[in-house]
Structure 1
Amino acid sequence: MAQAGGIFLDPEFYSIHVVEISEEILEGPELKIFHKAESEPPGAMKDLLEEVKRVRPARLVIDSLSDLRYLTDELVSFRRLVLALRHEFQSEESTVLITNNARENDGHLETICNGVIQLEQVVNEYGPIRRRILVSKLRGRSYQSGWHDFRITGDGLRVFPTLRVGTQRQMDQKELLSSGNTQLDLLFGGGIERGTTTAVIGASETGKTTLVNLYVVASAKRGERTVVYLFDETELSYRARAEGLGLSVGDYIDKGLIILREIDVAEFSVGEFTTMLLQEVEERGVSHVTIDTLNGYLNAMPFEKHQIIQLHQLLIHLSHRGITMFLASEQHGIFGDLTTDAKNLSYLSDSLLLLRYFEYRGQIRRAISVVKKRGGKHETTIREFTLSSNGISIGEPLKEMQGVLTGVPTLGV
């Protein structure tokens, strides 16, 4: 089992002692190790204690105490056994780790331990079993409370701590980041502020990914490293789509300035994704992060509770570090329901860019507008825009039309 988990147990420093249960105990009608009147644990436990005194280990693991609980005649006897163990180990210079079945919920055992760690399996309706860990007690030391995701792999145990947003903030950075498209920058009052979160919302094929990729390429041109998390498409299709719209991402990907991450929606937990993202920031110097799409992120982990709150905490943490975030989000339907789709996005983002289809004289066209920009001025007009192999083109404000956002506008007076 240890080898399967990537753990090497050096025989020079490691030994295993198997506690033998006598046949008399197993054959007894009441399956008892000792009687109520006995204050010292004989038999199997005496054998164990003698082995501990002989080896004098620096680390001692008893796996598991639950088995001994099943062989005692009652709970009082089991607690006496635990107290005897504690008394014996207090005189030894050993760090003791005891495993116990969570179903045997005995608070007495936890009171005599200096630390308590709980492990839990979470079985979802779809996908693999998720594991999480909770430190509920650690005397004399501070620790990070709450549940944390973890995974057992061939390389050992990987724990993904729950993100805690720090109290210290970076100084507000007023630097405006250009998209490389003058017309788009004007909609945002000159550009996107560094360290903010921008959400791009629209129906399928309205151009969300293309608009987000303008900032990705612009960041790479400045020599800044950016990472794009793909929840809805592959790296191959991402490259093909960008190249078809005049965005040369291939060279920047080869140089490592644009990093593409395809997310397996059946494997990741919120904690694992957060840890992976923070590693990109801390170890690879990423300053620009894109999630494409937010719908894919939420659908990848549908059984995670409080997804939006956890994502909000992550975005705040990245903002404190000056990381610029972009979220692409798809609306349901051709014309979408703005109230429903924008509810969480307004909570998550500093800026909100809305893309809409609208009908005009028998044609389906696209409209673009900046609905929100926290802490800065932005243009409030609705403009038409087009997509082509030359990129995007944003036209003049649609001043003569009323009801563009409904999808079926009328000509104004």
Structure 2
Amino acid sequence: MITSNESISAKAATGIEGLDDILSGGLSRGHVFLLEGEPGTGKTTVALHFLMAGAQAGERSLYITLSETERELRQGAASHGWTLDENIHIFELTPPESLLNAEHQQSLLYSSDLELGEATRQIFEVVERFKPTRVVLDSLSEIRLLAQSSLRYRRQILAIKHYFVRYDATVLLLDDLTTESLDKTVHSVAHGVIRLEELTPSYGAERRRLRVVKYRGQKYRGGYHDFTIMSDGLHVFPRLVAAEHRGQYLRQQLSSGIAEMDALLGGGIETGSSTLILGPAGTGKSLIALIFAAAAVRRGEKAALFIFDEEMGLLFERMRHIGIDLSALQETGNLLIEQVDAAELSPGEFSHRVRRCVDEGDIKTVVIDSINGYQAAMPEENALVLHMHELLLYLNRKGAATFMTVAQHGLVGDMQAPVDITYLADTVILLRYFEALGKVRRAISIIKKRTGSHESTIREYRISKKSMTIGQPLEAFQGVLRGVPTYMGSDNPLLEDAPQ
């Protein structure tokens, strides 16, 4: 048993890796912190993480509950597979059986002065008895109701704060915001304030996020951070800040394995760059991204595919028919494929998944198919662009080659993308349908490449059992990108029909 504060760390870890990262290590010891949020946002789960982290370090922990019973708390812990050990003491300030006692009913329910004084006395007595290093008080709404006035409530919170300071305990006060949600009394008293929020989209699962509102004398990661409550507890995904990640890597050109594609790209795609593949539905955007991923695996490198739009089995079957065996590539161990459900996944969690793959798996090629599906995970376009900016910059600094697809609305002529991220990408590959000689054909062009020179031509391409065939530049046609070109030459540069 640890008995001296000198033998424990300077910060009280919350037991939640992502939250500790946001808080620069955890909660400063010997201070009072406020954890606020509406019912159902996960306050009790955070509190249990906090107490269990202390118990694992040999510290005494105390959970003082005014709203939930000990049985409910232990059931909640059991739902996450946790068992609260002997270092975690639970004290019910008002045991349920006392409500049946007529003598207690009179003092508890009708005399607020006696109620508040009795509640405070019981809190101080249990602290004297256990002398805990970590304390959770749940919840302040009950104390606010007992106090009945803002002045008495503030005095009571100050009294509790000064009392705990004497024992050098780290205290987490929970507030469910069910009464006087605009009251900022505890904000001014607490050393730090963490706010949990739950958002309910029009469709899909609820989204949860947290924000550190205040933390005296400590630098922390500001802004909103997504989090989820899973069967094994609460997981926080700190907002990705690309500026914090810098790495050294050798910049080199990556070949697609198709000579004409490499010629269009001025030799290939560079490591540490991002490529956007833009075009209407059915033009082969996913195929081009997978061609580069398959080429990476053949070189002995690792690649990761994050698939938003297509069912995995259908994707495997479709690619097999055009010459790319994803199952065989996956069996090498160098191809990671993740199906992403946009309705169930927040952008912060997605960024965390990609970052984990790159950091832990040494991934050098990343495919995100598609940004349309990613946008469905976050309807606010401006925030989406900011998320993508940080994610792409992070991947670039890790030396990964990133490929993204965006499906445009329409088939020919003037088409619009649901979100414009062309300025973020280092290379933009444009795909188009066009009509010629009574058939609908496909054209490819490179409209942007920051990392080197590229062809400014437009070439026809065909998708068949041999994957992709790219023809010569369509120099005799005008208006290919408009969809209905004019033939200006004498030789036919179009690809000959091949057996499908």
Distance 1:366 1:277, change over 3 A: same
Matched, 1:33 2:108: no
Q: 1:81 aligns with which of 156, 164, 185?
A: 156
Counterpart Cα distance in 2 of 1:332 and 1:172: 38
Instruction: Give the 3 Å change call, closer, same or farther, for CA 343–154 of structure 1 in structure 2.
Output: closer
- Residue type of the alignment partner of 2:152: S
CA shift at 1:49, angstroms? 0.8
1:156 partner letter: G
Shift in CA distance, 225/118, structure 1 to aligned 2, threshold 3 Å: same
Match of 2:451 in 1: 375
Which deviates more, 267-276 or 102-111? 102-111
Alignment map for 1:176-215 (pairs within 5 Å): 176-215=253-292
* Match of residue 205 from structure 2: 128
**CA deviation vs aligned residue, 1:84-129 (integer Å, no higher than 9, x gap):** 1112111113111110133533323122211111111111111111
Residue of structure 1 in register with 2:471 after alignment: 395
**Pair 1:23 & 2:23 matched:** no
- Looking at structure 1, the residues matched to 356 and 249 of structure 2 have their Cα atoms a distance apart, in angstroms, of 23
Letter of the 1:86 counterpart: K
Q: CA deviation at 1:272?
A: 0.5
How many residue pairs get aligned? The number is 404
**Paired AA for residue 372 in structure 1:** K
Residue number in structure 2 paired with 1:275 = 352
- Tell me the secondary structure at the aligned position of residue 306 of structure 1: helix
Alignment of 1:155-194 (within 5 A): 155-166=232-243, 169-170=246-247, 173-194=250-271
Change (3 A) 1:407 1:115: same
Counterpart position of 2:329:
252
**How far apart in 2 are the matches of 1:142 and 1:201?**
41
Separation in 2, partners of 1:179, 1:378:
15
The structure-2 alpha-carbon separation of the partners of 1:345 and 1:44, relative to structure 1 and needing over 3 Å to count, comes to closer
Q: Which moved more, 1:341-350 or 1:66-75?
A: 341-350
Query: 5+ unaligned residues in a row in structure 1: which ranges?
Result: 36-40
- CA deviation map 1:21-78 (0-9, x unaligned): 84224442xx52359xxxxx62121122111111111111110011110122311111
Aligned partners of 1:384 and 1:394 also within 8 Å: yes
Deviates more, 1:105-114 or 1:81-90: 105-114
Which residue does 1:38 correspond to in 2?
none
CA deviation after TM superposition for structure 1 residue 378, in Å: 0.3
Task: Give the counterpart letter for 2:388 in structure 1.
Answer: L
User: Which amino acid is the alignment partner of residue 208 of structure 1?
Assistant: K
Q: Say which is worse superposed, 97-106 or 42-51, in terms of deviation.
A: 97-106
Contact 1:173 1:195 in 2 (8 A): no
1:90 matched to 2:165? The reply is yes
Contact 1:195 1:322 in 2 (8 A): yes
Instruction: Report the AA paired with residue 455 of structure 2.
Output: E
Indicate conservation of the 8 Å contact 2:247/2:397, yes or no.
yes
Counterpart Cα distance in 1 of 2:472 and 2:372 = 31
Residue number in structure 2 paired with 1:47: 122
Measured in 2, the distance between the counterparts of 1:63 and 1:342 equals: 46
C-alpha deviation, 1:344, in angstroms = 1.5
What are the within-5 Å matches in structure 2 for residues 319-338 of structure 1? 319-335=396-412, 337-338=414-415
- Could you tell which deviates more after superposition, 80-89 or 180-189? 80-89
Q: Contact 1:280–1:286 (CA<8 Å) still a contact in 2?
A: yes
Residue 314 of structure 2 aligns with which residue? 237
Q: Which amino acid aligns with 2:346?
A: S
The separation in 2 between residues aligned to 1:342 and 1:407, in whole angstroms, is 20
Distance in 1 (alpha carbons) for counterparts of 2:263 and 2:251: 16
Distance 1:336 1:144, change over 3 A: farther
Tell me how far apart the structure 1 counterparts of residues 256 and 309 of structure 2 sit (CA, whole Å): 23
Match of 1:104 among 157, 170, 181: 181
Q: 1:342 to 1:272 in 2, by over 3 A?
A: closer
Q: Is the CA contact 1:173–1:193 (under 8 Å) kept in the aligned structure 2?
A: no
Q: Which runs of structure 2 are paired with 1:353-368 in the superposition (5 Å)?
A: 353-368=429-444
> What is aligned with 1:14?
88
The answer to whether the 8 Å contact 1:5/1:157 transfers is no
Match of 2:112, as an amino acid? K
**Residues 305, 380 of structure 1: CA spacing in aligned structure 2 closer, same or farther, 3 A cutoff?**
closer
> Is the Cα contact below 8 Å between 1:270 and 1:304 reproduced in 2?
no
Q: 1:287, 1:323 within 8 Å by CA — same for their partners in 2?
A: yes
Shift of 1:304: 7.4
Instruction: From the superposition, tell whether residues 307 and 105 of structure 1 become closer, same or farther in structure 2 (CA, over 3 Å).
Output: same
Q: Determine helix, strand or coil for the equivalent of 1:367.
A: strand
Deviation at 1:160, TM superposition (A): 0.6
Q: Partner of 2:77: helix, strand, or coil?
A: coil
How much does 1:6 deviate?
3.6
CA pair 131-202 structure 1, distance change in 2 beyond 3 A: same
Query: Which residue does the alignment assign to 2:25?
Result: none
Contact 2:478–2:485 (Cα < 8 Å) also in 1: yes
Kept after mapping to 1: 8 A contact 2:347/2:377? no
* Gaps in structure 2 of 5+ consecutive residues: 1-75, 490-500
Counterpart CA distance in 2 for 1:318 and 1:355 is 25
| Residue 147, structure 1, aligned to residue 186, structure 2 | no
* Match in the other structure for 2:9: none
Matched, 1:309 2:377: no
Work out whether residues 107 and 114 of structure 2, in 8 Å CA contact, stay in contact via their aligned partners in 1: no
Q: Are 1:5 and 2:87 an aligned pair? A: no
Q: Which moved more, 1:130-139 or 1:353-362?
A: 130-139
Query: Partners of 1:33 and 1:125 in 2: how far apart?
Result: 46
Instruction: Report deviation, 1:174.
Output: 3.9
The RMSD of aligned alpha carbons is 1.9
Q: How far did residue 259 of structure 1 move?
A: 1.1
Partner of 2:461: 385
Tell me if the contact between 1:223 and 1:257 (Cα under 8 Å) persists in the aligned partners. Answer: yes
Give the TM-score, by structure 2 length: 0.77
CA distance in 1, matches of 2:419, 2:452: 21
Contact 2:372–2:418 (8 Å) recurs in 1: no
CA distance, structure 2, for counterparts of residue 305 and residue 72 of structure 1:
44
For 1:72, the aligned partner's letter is A
For residue 8 of structure 1, report the CA deviation from its aligned partner.
2.6
Give the percent of matched residue pairs that are identical in Structure 1 and Structure 2. Answer: 38
Question: What's the offset of the Cα at 1:341?
Answer: 2.4
Q: Which residue of structure 2 aligns with residue 409 of structure 1?
A: 485
| TM superposition shift of 1:248 | 2.8
